[in-house]
Structure 1
Amino acid sequence: MYSGCMSTPERLIEATRELLWERGYVGTSPKAILQRSGAGQGSMYHHFTGKSDLALAAIGRTAEEMRATAEGVLGGPGSPYQRIEAYLRRERDVLRGCPVGRLTMDPEVIESDELRAPVDETLDWLRERLAGIVEEGQERGEFAPSLDGEEIAAVIVSTVQGGYVLARASGSAAAFDTGVRGLLSLLSRAR
């Protein structure tokens, strides 16, 4: 499944990332990790202190990837509104859900300060980044000065995460798209 030039620790991290997204922490057994990664028996404990340590590396990698993807759009060309719109409309595997958002519903992750930290930090970063773009739009006269950047950022993140939930529940990406269109309609009226 993985490239022959990928190191064993990398294969273990990638397998764990996929399994966490698919099954959650409890459903991600060491046996499943080893099978998915193609790593030998004992490899996990040779490179990591245990499942939690490996999960932390995987969650950290997923969080970094999410931030990089978001920044690629949010830091791109266009006005603040256009960048927010590009973020909301960017291609996603909506029915699969968000790999970071999914972790917020995993009791084992949420109960662990260590495992929860990269999830919380990533969502905080996203809200702060979006709030800064809203404030930039206000400075340029693109958004009404009465808007609260932090509140709008929270609504944007909530729309995306809630859109995933609605899409998965209905089995259709249409629910996600409807939420995005609704939010963009509200934002365009706040211009």
Structure 2
Amino acid sequence: MSTADRLVESTRELLWERGYTGTSPKAIQQRAGAGQGSMYHHFTGKPDLARAAIERTAAEMRAAAEAQFAAPGTAVERVTAYLRRERDVLRGCPIGRLTQDPDVMADASLRAPVEETLGWLRGRLAGVLEEGRARGELDPALDVRATAAALVAVLQGGYVIARAEGSAEPFAQAVTGALGLLAGAAVTPPPGGRPPAPPAPPR
């Protein structure tokens, strides 16, 4: 791993552990095993390095989510795989936690990848649900955008409650509850296993 990569990875870890204010240039350098000269050779300063770290975390988060969203299966199966995938719940969401950091939210450059990632997640979930609705797997009346926003809110709220209680159980309960509500919008397939075809568009 190059020095620049070590600096970015160290910053990612520290931001997740300590937040932006608690992540000092000295702490980054110590964890990365790099000197001050190396840090400022690759980055103009802490904000520049933090932006690179947040962007890398965001890209990693999107790639992991896309692996479930693009997999075979019904919309509910893919959403379930995403919601139930293994997570370090008590550490919180590495992107979501940054929304609670006033220094990140006050800096447009640092806030942008956080906002973009959460917006992408809502949009991608809505797209998966729309696919399911178009294929007759979900109730045609389902509001896919509102449902996607609710699912993201359940995830982020689940992290907060789990951290507050020091247990992953509230997160698991929140996910189970959300999936139960989503199951209520699923259309029962007829005998033979295929869901009914969506209605033809009006001419």
Taking structure 2 as the reference length, what is the TM-score of the superposition?
A: 0.90
Matched, 1:130 2:129: no
Determine which structure has the larger helix proportion and give its number.
Answer: 1
* Aligned length in residues: 186
The equivalent of 2:69 in structure 1 is: 74
Matched, 1:140 2:135: yes
Q: Whole-Å Cα distance in 2 between the matches of residues 189 and 43 of structure 1?
A: 56
Matched, 1:63 2:58: yes
Matched, 1:89 2:67: no
Aligned letter for 1:59?
I
Tell me by how many angstroms 1:91 deviates. 0.4
Equivalent residue in structure 1 for 2:156, among 156, 161, 171: 161
Tell me by how many angstroms 1:42 deviates. 1.9
The equivalent of 1:106 in structure 2 is: 101
1:37-67 per-residue CA deviation (whole Å, 9 max, x = no partner) reads 0002321111100000000000000000000
Tell me by how many angstroms 1:190 deviates. 1.1
Taking structure 1 as the reference length, what is the TM-score of the superposition?
A: 0.96
Moved over 2 A (4+): none
Tell me by how many angstroms 1:157 deviates. 0.5
Tell me by how many angstroms 1:110 deviates. 0.5
The equivalent of 1:116 in structure 2 is: 111
CA RMSD of aligned residues (A): 0.7
Matched, 1:16 2:11: yes
Higher radius of gyration, 1 or 2: 2
Give the gaps of 5 or more residues in structure 1. Answer: 1-5
1:117-149 per-residue CA deviation (whole Å, 9 max, x = no partner) reads 001111111111000111111111111111111
Q: Whole-Å Cα distance in 2 between the matches of residues 24 and 41 of structure 1?
A: 21
Secondary structure in structure 1 of the residue aligned to 2:131: helix
Give the gaps of 5 or more residues in structure 2. Answer: 187-203
